[in-house]
Amino acid sequence: MNSFEQRDRDWQRQIFEERLHRQREEAERQRHKETIEKLTSTEKNYTTKIEAVDQEMGEMAKHILILMNNKKRLENTIESFEKKFHSMQQKLEKFDQFMIEEKTRAEVNEVLKTENHQLKEQLIQMQQQMTRMENDIKNRNENWESNLEWVQLHRKVLEFVEEIKKKEETLPELGQNNSEDLEMQKFVNFVLYSAEKLERATCRDVVEQTGPADSTSLITEGKKNNKKKTLSFQSLIKVLNYSYFLYFLIENNSSNVTISD
């Protein structure tokens, strides 16, 4: 083989190699282009996805913010409910205490009602006793006044008896034992006899022990002998009237009055 053919072959080989190299480069560029396109498409997809994710993240951030606000409101609400619950619990405790106090008060009221009923009954009894005591005191006062009047009259009779006894000693000197003097003597004897009989019948023991000046003893004796005293009171008044009359006659030295039995 001559040199020309050799050069031709070398040249063809070189051309073939260059063409192959260009084809390879073209294929490589094509692959790179496709890869770049794929990457670009992938990048776009990822960018779209990232944008979507960013948008979702924004929405999620909004939701999170809303949730955080809701959480804060819920916390405030829970705190408010806790305060209300604590307040309600305190009110419940106070109500329980109030119910206990009311129950105790009701029991105390029942006891007080019973005691009030008993006190009312006791008050009625006391009023009845007071009424009886007032009546008793009234009767005693009346008896005491009557006894006091009786004692005063009795003293007056005794005083007149003493005066009559003194006057009796001078009575016979008023006349010559004529009929008028005899009548006067009979009346004096009657008054003396009535006074002494009344004294012996009503308060003999008291006069013997204390004398006629002890009004308290006379009143006591009069209370012990209330019936006897009542019966003797009219006689005492009668004797007192006779005594006054006799005293009037003696004081005026009158012998012109006839005294009958």
239-255 residue pLDDT tens: 556 555 555 555 554 44
Which pairs count as long-range contacts for 98-106, CB under 8 Å and 24+ apart, including other chains? none
Average pLDDT over the chain, rounded to whole? 70
Cβ–Cβ < 8 Å for 231, 176? no
Supply the Cα-derived Rg of the chain in whole angstroms. 74
Both structure tokens of 185: 């003597």
- Comparing 47 with 225, the larger pLDDT belongs to 47
Whether residue 182 has pLDDT greater than 80: no
Angstrom distance (rounded) from CA 62 to CA 67: 8
88-123 residue pLDDT tens: 989 989 888 888 888 888 888 888 888 878 888 887
Q: Which of 65-69, 101-105, 214-218 has the lowest mean pLDDT?
A: 214-218
Whether residue 51 has pLDDT greater than 50: yes
**High-pLDDT (> 90) share of the chain, %:** 3
